[in-house]
Chain A
Amino acid sequence: MLARVANNLFWMGRYIERAEHVARYLNVNYFSSLDAPNELSQSRQFVLQSMLFMADDFSRTENELNEQEVLYDIALNPDRAYSIINYVKLARENANSARDLISTELYESINKFYHFVLNYSVENFTQRGLYDFTVQVTENVSILRGKIRGTLLHDKVYAIIMLGVNIERATQIIRIINSKYKDAVLAQGSYGDTLKNSYEWTTLLKCAESYDMMRRFYRKTPTSFTTLEFLILNPDCPRSVINSLNQVCEHIKVLSHEKYPSKTSSEFLIGKVRAKYQFKIIEEIESDLQTFIQNILDDLNSIALKLENEYFNY
């Protein structure tokens, strides 16, 4: 496989995954705020701030955010690098340059998805379509996951896409945790609750589509402790960071056949990072979540850079 095309497939996987997480973040935060138990969480400004934080936009200085503008920027504004429409466009562009390697079925689904987003009426979206649009984006991504899994050869092409998907998924989960942790800190005590059992933990789990399974696993109302443990360390939770790292470990083996991978290889680094989190306990994480978040984002980034150097940068 060409190095350039491998890079494109990697990023196709990343952008597909990213679009979904952003869409779900918009959806869950907006709709859970409508009947949130405390005033701050219910405040529209609070939600919009949180969305911009998640999107990495710190450029706004105005006191009063305009709801329609923020929603438009994050979902459909082609001039914002972080908008869903841009992610989908980039996913399709990357798919385009690997069109000879992926299945017709996968390409057709990406293409349809792109045209769906491209033709979505902005007016409809900002006034009535938030729910419909974000749900359709997440469903389209599920279709893409199905086509990737079900119509491609499970060879190097598949491995590279899955490396992108899983590195992005872990990154997005951490970013969502970061965002909601900040919200939980801000909202604490506003109706007599504490950081530990904030309403924001429920929202966080829903943002990761993991609320129901978390309740099944713990049979208790989510707390900061159980939520973080579930989303970071539970290997059976399909959205957990460790689950993603396990998959990254599995897929890198398709690309590299070394029995003893060299110290400078991606495989070695991936194994090392995985081992670090595999044997973490939640108490270590919870005591200083901010540092943990920074460290793991750095680790994920170093894996991506290593892959780029080893496989994509000829």
Chain B
Amino acid sequence: MKEHSKPTFESYNRDPKLYDEIFDENDNVRNIYATLFDLYSEHSAKDFARLNDKAKASFFNQGITFQVYGDHEVKEKIFPFDLFPRIIDPQEWQVIENGVLQRSKALNHFLWDVYHEKNIIKEGIVPLELISSSANYLDQMNGFDPPGGIYNHISGTDLIKHSDGQYYVLEDNIRCPSGVSYVICNRTALKRALFGVFNHYKTHTVTNYAENLLEILETVKPKGVDIPNCVVITPGIYNSAYYEHSYLAKAMGVELVEGRDLFVENDFVYMKTITGPEKVDVIYRRIDDQFLDPLEFKPDSALGVPGLMAAYKQGNVCLVNAPGTGVADDKAIYTYMPEIIKYYLDEEPILNNVPTYHCSRPDELKYVLENISELVIKPVDEAGGYGISIGNRLTKEEIEEVKETVKASPRKYIAQPIMSLSVHPTYIEENESFEPRHVDLRTFTLLGDQKEFVLKGGLTRVALRKGNLIVNSSQGGGSKDTWVLKNNQ
């Protein structure tokens, strides 16, 4: 017997000012979601409460958790997972796929140039001080040719859909972008909970990520190596992304190592196995530049491997992503992306950039200070959604405070118009119903020597708090399974 409780979408209030992913401006369900909406409407709110609990237990038991440090104890929490998937139609996806690939390639050219001839600076397209003042620029990389000529093997591109229905890129993450394991977990969890819905939609798989990643790693093997020995290096089991590190190693069938498992001798890297040293050729590193090698960077860091940079510069091992990529995923460089794409690829950017004001430029700084209430102020070098001020949420006093901070170090800040992230129906536990919440999308792009791959899917992150625009998991965001549909629906 079907339980009779309130209909699942009863309390769904569409906000006409925002782009709603499933309802159009006349409150009709968009075509692509029609079948799914009908299927979900057959379930009662109680059913969803139960499925939601099951999905949570599944994540918890599998240990797909992160740790929260309280006063007395360490608590394990799961990353919230939402039962309502996001669907992207094939045409729309093709644009995203071409767009993120274009950006990743342009960034790779840009990095080569920045660490070699620096033509883009000489020609005055990107100002020198953006590079020279960047904390992520590494002198060690100057003049060095990374294997295969690839810097950003793995790129995570963050996109949003604005109220105009267009996609905009918010960030290019080309240091150690994370989240791909959740793409795969979310798919597994949704299949377990509601396998029936997959009968109605032909969706691209996401489980092929690891095999493609391994192929990419193998394309950038050092010279003279036949079958390369690839490893994943992690800061260890207490790192918040440890699950992802172990997942990727397991899925690729390669060793998951910590810094202390490796050593360098005569500029070759070896891992310490039970049968003695074993040479390592390609390292997918999930530790930041500054921790890679205590001889070159932070001398007190125990996470890295002494001598690793020397081995890398001798061409005896390949680091993925290359050190020093951070110089290009700086929020200030982001604003030059349209020019960077044109300069290197001679193409028009496929995906929109959000218009950006540089506080380092006096006239733009003036505009920012006068219009703070309509802008988002972001520090250029923070990750995880920290240090962001959203103008229309600030009190008068807070606006003054922000003005002072920005004036004190204008180079550190950029400002953008407040983008209204699209909303998507999201199951809200407290209310036992679906409500609109803001979402973004992180895509994953792989670049290798003569090989490229864009994962057909991605991580749709959702801000669970009502009205909140920040979707990062460190700020209480959840995520959704993301379906890229096949052409022949």
Binding site for B on A (CB under 8 A): 1-6, 93, 96-97, 99-101, 104, 107-108, 111-112, 115, 156, 160, 255, 311-312, 314
* Chain A neighbourhood of B191, CB < 8 A: none
Mind listing 29 A-B residue pairs with CB under 8 Å? A1-B273, A1-B274, A3-B272, A3-B273, A3-B274, A4-B260, A4-B272, A96-B63, A97-B236, A99-B63, A99-B243, A100-B232, A100-B246, A100-B247, A100-B249, A100-B250, A101-B250, A107-B62, A108-B63, A111-B61, A111-B62, A112-B61, A115-B60, A115-B61, A156-B274, A160-B274, A255-B274, A312-B274, A314-B272
Residue B237, interface by CB 8 Å = yes
Give the contacting residue for A2; candidates B62, B63, B243, B261; CB below 8 A. Answer: B261
Residue B215, interface by CB 8 Å = no
Query: When each residue 231-245 of chain B gets 1 if its CB lies under 8 Å from chain A and 0 otherwise, what string results?
Result: 010001100001100
Segment of B91-99, B161-169, B251-259 in the binding face: B251-259
Residue B271, interface by CB 8 Å = yes
Contact A99 B246 (CB under 8 A): yes
**Docked complex Cα distance between A66 and B63 (Å):** 37
Closest residue on chain A to residue B257 by CB atoms: A2
Closest residue on chain B to residue A103 by CB atoms: B250
A contact face: mostly helix, strand, loop, or mixed: helix
* Chain A neighbourhood of B246, CB < 8 A: 96, 99-100
A277 to chain B, nearest CB (A): 27
Give the contacting residue for B272; candidates A2, A96, A156, A160; CB below 8 A. Answer: A2
Give the contacting residue for B274; candidates A6, A93, A99, A101; CB below 8 A. Answer: A6
Binding site for A on B (CB under 8 A): 60-63, 232, 236-237, 242-243, 246-247, 249-250, 255-258, 260-261, 271-274
**Docked complex Cα distance between A5 and B260 (Å):** 11
Contact B237 A96 (CB under 8 A): yes
A86 to chain B, nearest CB (A): 15
* Chain B neighbourhood of A156, CB < 8 A: 274
Contact B250 A99 (CB under 8 A): yes
Given A96-B237, A115-B61, 19 more pairs with CB closer than 8 A: A1-B274, A2-B257, A2-B261, A2-B273, A3-B261, A3-B272, A3-B274, A4-B260, A96-B246, A99-B63, A99-B243, A100-B246, A100-B250, A100-B256, A101-B250, A104-B62, A108-B62, A111-B62, A311-B274
**Docked complex Cα distance between A104 and B256 (Å):** 15
**Docked complex Cα distance between A157 and B236 (Å):** 20
* Chain A neighbourhood of B237, CB < 8 A: 93, 96-97
> Which of B60, B61, B236, B274 has the most chain A CB atoms inside 10 A of its CB?
B274
Contact A2 B61 (CB under 8 A): no
* Chain A neighbourhood of B61, CB < 8 A: 108, 111-112, 115
A21 to chain B, nearest CB (A): 25
* Chain A neighbourhood of B272, CB < 8 A: 2-4, 314
Give the contacting residue for B258; candidates A4, A104, A108, A314; CB below 8 A. Answer: A4
Number of A-B contacts (CB under 8 A): 58
**Docked complex Cα distance between A112 and B57 (Å):** 10
Q: A107-B62, A107-B63, A111-B62 are in contact. Are A2 and B271 (CB under 8 A)?
A: yes
Closest residue on chain B to residue A92 by CB atoms: B63
**Docked complex Cα distance between A312 and B275 (Å):** 10
**Docked complex Cα distance between A112 and B256 (Å):** 23
**Docked complex Cα distance between A3 and B261 (Å):** 8
Contact B255 A2 (CB under 8 A): yes
**Docked complex Cα distance between A104 and B61 (Å):** 10
**Docked complex Cα distance between A100 and B271 (Å):** 16
**Docked complex Cα distance between A133 and B385 (Å):** 44
Contact B255 A100 (CB under 8 A): yes
Closest residue on chain B to residue A160 by CB atoms: B274
Contact A111 B255 (CB under 8 A): no
A264 to chain B, nearest CB (A): 16
**Docked complex Cα distance between A100 and B243 (Å):** 9
**Docked complex Cα distance between A311 and B255 (Å):** 17
Contact A111 B257 (CB under 8 A): no
* Chain B neighbourhood of A160, CB < 8 A: 274
* Chain A neighbourhood of B60, CB < 8 A: 115
> Which of B247, B258, B273 has the most chain A CB atoms inside 10 A of its CB?
B273
**Docked complex Cα distance between A93 and B237 (Å):** 8
B193 to chain A, nearest CB (A): 17
Nearest first, the 8 closest Cβ-Cβ pairs linking A and B are A314-B272, A100-B249, A99-B246, A100-B256, A100-B250, A111-B63, A311-B274, A100-B246
**Docked complex Cα distance between A104 and B242 (Å):** 15
* Chain B neighbourhood of A255, CB < 8 A: 274
A48 to chain B, nearest CB (A): 28
> Which of B63, B242, B256, B272 has the most chain A CB atoms inside 10 A of its CB?
B63
Closest residue on chain A to residue B253 by CB atoms: A100
**Docked complex Cα distance between A4 and B271 (Å):** 10
B185 to chain A, nearest CB (A): 11
**Docked complex Cα distance between A107 and B63 (Å):** 8
> Which of A5, A93, A255 has the most chain B CB atoms inside 10 A of its CB?
A5
* Chain A neighbourhood of B274, CB < 8 A: 1-3, 6, 156, 160, 255, 311-312
* Chain B neighbourhood of A93, CB < 8 A: 237
* Chain A neighbourhood of B249, CB < 8 A: 100
A78 to chain B, nearest CB (A): 9
* Chain A neighbourhood of B242, CB < 8 A: 96
* Chain B neighbourhood of A6, CB < 8 A: 274
**Docked complex Cα distance between A96 and B236 (Å):** 10
Closest residue on chain A to residue B65 by CB atoms: A111
* Chain B neighbourhood of A3, CB < 8 A: 261, 272-274
* Chain A neighbourhood of B250, CB < 8 A: 99-101
* Chain A neighbourhood of B271, CB < 8 A: 2
* Chain A neighbourhood of B62, CB < 8 A: 104, 107-108, 111
**Docked complex Cα distance between A240 and B236 (Å):** 38
Closest residue on chain B to residue A107 by CB atoms: B63
* Chain B neighbourhood of A1, CB < 8 A: 255, 273-274
* Chain B neighbourhood of A5, CB < 8 A: 261
* Chain B neighbourhood of A314, CB < 8 A: 272
**Docked complex Cα distance between A314 and B246 (Å):** 22
**Docked complex Cα distance between A172 and B332 (Å):** 63
**Docked complex Cα distance between A108 and B185 (Å):** 14
A252 to chain B, nearest CB (A): 12
A101 to chain B, nearest CB (A): 8
B153 to chain A, nearest CB (A): 20
